[in-house]
With several copies, the nearest count.
Chain A
Amino acid sequence: MNAPADASSRDELEAAVVRFAGDSGDGMQLTGGQFTEATAVAGNDLATFPDFPAEIRAPVGTTFGVSSFQINFGARRIMTSGDDFDVLVAMNPAALKVEMSRLRKGGLMIVDSGTFTERNLAKAGYDTSPLEDGTVDPYRVISFDISAMTMEAVKEFELSKKDALRCKNMWALGFVYWLFGRSRKTTQEWLTGKFANRPDIANANIAAMNAGHAMGETAELPEGVHGFHIAPAEIAAGLYRTVTGTEALAWGLVKGAELAALEILFASYPITPASPLLHSLAKMQHLGVTTFQAEDEIAAACAAIGGSYAGSLGITSSSGPGIALKGEAIGLALSAELPMIIVNSQRGGPSTGLPTKTEQSDLYQAVYGRNADAPLVVLSTRSASDCFEVGIEAVRLATKYMTPVMLLTDGYIANAAEPWRLPDLDAYEPFPVTFHTDPEGFHPFQRDAETLARVWAKPGTPELMHRIGGIERSYDTGHISYDADNHHRMTKIRAAKIDGIAKDIPAQTVELGNETGKLCVVGWGSTYGPINRAVDNLIRRGKDVSHVHLSYIWPLPENLGDLLAGYDTILIPEMNNGQLITLLKAEYLIDAQGLNKISGQPFRISEIEDAILGILEG
Chain B
Amino acid sequence: MNELTPPAKRTAKDFATDQEVRWCPGCGDYAILRAVLNTLADIEAEPENTVFVSGIGCAARFPYYVETYGFHTIHGRAPAFATGIKLANPELDVWVVGGDGDMLSIGGNHLMHVIRRNVDVQVLLFNNEIYGLTKGQASPTSRAGTRSPSTPLGSVDNPVSACVFVLGAGARFVARGIDAQQKDLPAILKRAHAHKGASFVEILQNCIVYNDGVFADITEKSVVADRQVVCRHGEPLVFGKDGDKGLKLDPATLTLGVVEVGADGPEAAGVLVHDETNHVLASMLAAMDDEDLPVAVGVIYCAPALSYGEGVAQMKAEARKRARDADLKSIMHEGHTWTVAD
Contacts and interface: CB of A to CB of B under 8 A. Distances in A.
Note whether A and B contact each other (Cβ less than 8 A): yes
B22 A59 contact: yes
Given A283-B152, A302-B77, A306-B85, A237 B340 contact: yes
B327 interface: yes
Interface stretch (B105-113, B190-198, B234-242, B282-290): B105-113
A251 B332 CA distance: 8
A298 B105 CA distance: 12
Interface string A452-467: 0000001111111111
Interface string B1-31: 0110000000000000101111111000000
Contact of B341 (A56, A237, A272): A237
A425 B150 contact: no
B72 A467 contact: yes
B76 A296 contact: yes
B88 A310 contact: yes
B257 interface: no
Contact of A272 (B17, B50, B64, B134): B134
Interface string B51-89: 101001010000110011111111111001111110111
B335 interface: yes
Interface string B89-133: 101100000000000011011101100000000000000000111
A236 B92 CA distance: 50
A467 B69 contact: yes
B91 A460 contact: yes
Interface string A149-165: 00000000000000000
Contact of A265 (B69, B84, B105, B338): B84
What are the 5 A-B residue pairs with the smallest beta carbon separation, nearest first? A306-B84, A469-B72, A303-B84, A467-B70, A302-B80
A282 B151 contact: yes
A328 B74 contact: yes
B330 to A, nearest CB: 10
6 contacts: A56-B210, A275-B150, A303-B83, A305-B73, A308-B88, A314-B88
Contact of A299 (B77, B322, B326, B328): B77
Contact of A306 (B22, B81, B320, B327): B81
Nearest to B17: A467
A458 B89 CA distance: 10
Contact of A460 (B24, B83, B89, B152): B89
> Which of B53, B82, B89, B329 gathers the greatest number of chain A CB atoms within 10 Å?
B89
A367 to B, nearest CB: 22
> Which of B53, B73, B75, B80 gathers the greatest number of chain A CB atoms within 10 Å?
B80
Contact of B149 (A62, A279, A297, A458): A279
A196 B138 CA distance: 26
> Which of A186, A269, A295 gathers the greatest number of chain B CB atoms within 10 Å?
A295
Nearest to A470: B74
B138 A321 contact: no
Interface of B: 2-3, 17, 19-25, 47-51, 53, 56, 58, 63-64, 67-77, 80-85, 87-89, 91-92, 105-106, 108-110, 112-113, 131-135, 137-138, 140, 149-153, 209-210, 312, 315-316, 319-320, 322-323, 326-329, 331-333, 335-342
A272 B149 CA distance: 13
Given A41-B336, A59-B22, A302-B81, A265 B74 contact: no
A321 B17 CA distance: 28
Contacts of A272: 133-135
Given A286-B326, A290-B316, A64 B338 contact: no
B178 to A, nearest CB: 21
Given A238-B339, A241-B336, A467-B63, A462 B109 contact: no
Contacts of B112: 295
Contacts of A306: 53, 71, 80-85, 87-88
A284 interface: yes
B312 A290 contact: yes
Given A267-B84, A287-B328, A459 B106 contact: no
A352 B56 CA distance: 9
A255 interface: yes
A107 to B, nearest CB: 29
B21 to A, nearest CB: 7
Nearest to A241: B337
B300 to A, nearest CB: 25
Interface residues of A, number: 91
Interface string A306-323: 111111101000000100
Nearest to A60: B25
A56 B27 CA distance: 11
A317 to B, nearest CB: 12
A559 B197 CA distance: 54
A465 to B, nearest CB: 5
B315 A285 contact: yes
A459 B64 contact: no
Interface in A454-512: 458-471, 479-480
A468 B328 contact: no
A58 interface: yes
Contacts of B19: 467, 479-480
B51 A459 contact: yes
Contact of A57 (B134, B209, B340): B209
B88 A265 contact: yes
A465 B328 CA distance: 35
A297 B339 CA distance: 41
A271 to B, nearest CB: 7
Contacts of A55: 22-24
Nearest to B117: A295
A291 B84 CA distance: 10
A117 to B, nearest CB: 17
Given A303-B81, A329-B77, A459 B48 contact: yes
Nearest to A266: B87
